[in-house]
Amino acid sequence: MIRSILFVGIGSCIGGIFRFLLSRYVEHSFQHSFPWATFLVNILGCLLIGLFYGLFERGHLMNTDLKLFLTVGLCGGFTTFSTFVNEDFLLIKDQNYFIFVFYTLLSVFLGLTATYVGHLIIKSL
């Protein structure tokens, strides 16, 4: 159990650092009321988890520690549902209803699509 906790913790740390760096880059590159940083991080995370689970299903990555590190740790630390919901809350609070609906629907739709595409990429190899 301690070993699993360490793999998840290390993966979460690395994922959180990647999220921070990518978010900072996007925030400085795009000045807009649409929350691009969280959106891009979450869609990329969905693509990655689709790729990882596709690899696990094919049997190429069977190590339980690696699976915990990449999915629960790295992807879990990289993506951020709580920030997504907070940004939605702030959009509603600011009465920016169009961007709220657009951001929410696009995030869910593209998140599912990215996960499916990642999984499909691995299946097609």
Average pLDDT of 38-64?
91
Kindly indicate the confidence band of residue 70, based on its pLDDT and cuts at 50, 70 and 90.
Answer: very high
Kindly indicate the confidence band of residue 62, based on its pLDDT and cuts at 50, 70 and 90.
Answer: confident
Report the pLDDT value the prediction gives residue 65, as an integer from 0 to 100: 93
**Domain of residue 103, residue span:** 2-124
Q: How far apart are CA 97 and CA 76, in angstroms?
A: 28
Residue 31 structure tokens: 């000045």
- The pLDDT mean for the chain works out to 94
User: Is the Cβ–Cβ distance between 68 and 29 less than 8 Å?
Assistant: no
Instruction: Kindly state the percentage of the chain with pLDDT values over 70.
Output: 99
pLDDT surpasses 90 at 97: yes
- The neighbour count for residue 63, using CB atoms within 10 Å, is 11
The DSSP 8-state label assigned to residue 73 in this structure reads: I
pLDDT in tens, 82-94: 999 999 999 999 9
What is the tally of structural domains in the chain? Answer: 1
Three-class DSSP category at 34? coil
